[in-house]
């Protein structure tokens, strides 16, 4: 089956890639994906069962001088709220500093 495709305003063919997974183990809860998503796909939730002091997470990633409305508390993490509302724009992956998101093209019915 062929993947779903569309055209950009300029007439270039484009294949959307929809969010399929979010790795909460590497997510730092920065909220960048939430802020850039036009479709309410993400939500900030309590981190469960994960050690917030993981050595893989760099302290510079947690603190930001910008007041973005999100807590720098490492006990929060992003979650997929409305996965079926994803339009496949991949904006979330472009702004994610930890590459937490997986995407996949969908086949046309």
Determine contact, residues 92/42, Cβ cutoff 8 Å: yes
Taking only the tens of pLDDT, the chain with its 109 residues reads: 788 999 999 999 999 999 999 999 999 999 999 999 999 999 999 987 645 444 444 544 444 445 555 545 458 999 999 999 999 999 999 999 999 999 999 876 5
**54 in any annotated domain:** yes
Domain of 53, CATH number, reads 3.30.70.20
pLDDT score recorded for residue 48 = 75
**109 in any annotated domain:** no
pLDDT score recorded for residue 75 = 85
Number of domains, the chain: 1
**96 in any annotated domain:** yes
DSSP 8-state assignment for residue 20: E
pLDDT score recorded for residue 66 = 53
Q: 61: which 2 tokens?
A: 């990633």
**1 in any annotated domain:** no
pLDDT score recorded for residue 47 = 85
Instruction: State the pTM of this model.
Output: 0.71
Three-state SS for the chain is CCECCEECCCCCEECCCEEEEECCCCCCCCCHHHHHCCCCCEEEEECCCCCCCCCCCCHHHHCCCCCCCCCCCCCEEEEECCHHHCCCCCHHHHHCCCCCEEEECCECC
Q: Which domain holds residue 44?
A: 6-104
């Amino acid at each position: 089956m062929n993947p779903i495709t569309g055209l950009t305003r300029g007439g270039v063919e484009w294949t959307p890639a929809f969010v399929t997974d979010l790795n909460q183990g590497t997510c730092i809860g920065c909220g960048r994906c939430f802020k850039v998503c036009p479709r309410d796909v993400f939500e900030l939730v309590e981190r469960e069962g994960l050690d917030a002091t993981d050595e893989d997470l760099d302290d510079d990633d947690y603190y930001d001088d910008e007041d973005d409305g999100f807590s720098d508390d490492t006990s929060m993490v992003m979650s997929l709220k409305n996965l079926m509302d994803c339009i496949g724009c991949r904006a979330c992956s472009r702004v994610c500093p930890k590459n937490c998101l997986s995407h996949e093209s969908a086949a046309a019915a």
